[in-house]
Amino acid sequence: MDALPASHTLRGMSDQIGVLFLCTANSCRSQMAEALLREVGGKRFKAMSAGATPCGYIHPLAIATMEKMGVSMDGQRSKGLEEFADVKVDVAITVCEAAAKEACPTWPGATGFVNWGLPDPAGFNGTDEQRLEFAVLVAKRIKAKVAALVMLDFDKLSAGELLREIAALKEL
């Protein structure tokens, strides 16, 4: 992260900033993060998500949560890391919660790599209503982080400064 030249920025030749959200199954948190960045960041960002071992579907809790928040997931599907081998990724953000002993995937192709560590709604036990309530809470945390991410000045801050700012969003 700090080995990059001070003048280096995360912006490449493209106008879009590529953000890849990673988790193990690519079914819930990373899918919600992708949808929320697309909603909040607009065309300035290329929102993507993938999993180390994708489960092949979007978890019903993620779908219900985004519907409840009025956020579209149209066109999204569970994807593996290999689909992004040739895609420009400026920032890779894992959403796996290390405290839960989840195996977080890595992304060596990104200019920057950070972890936001969020609890997994798919693993939350309770009634359907409690599970949806918990998923909405997690999604609201993701939305707060994404809203702060899109406010960062990707044109003026160095890559190192941006990565520190993005990593600090974990605390939101």
Residues classed as catalytic: 23, 96, 104
CA–CA dist 118, 104 (Å, integer): 11
Residue type present at position 65: T
Residue type present at position 97: E
CA–CA dist 50, 53 (Å, integer): 9
65 and 139 Cβ atoms separated by less than 8 Å: yes
Nearest to 166 by CA among 35, 10, 8, 25: 10
84 and 54 Cβ atoms separated by less than 8 Å: no
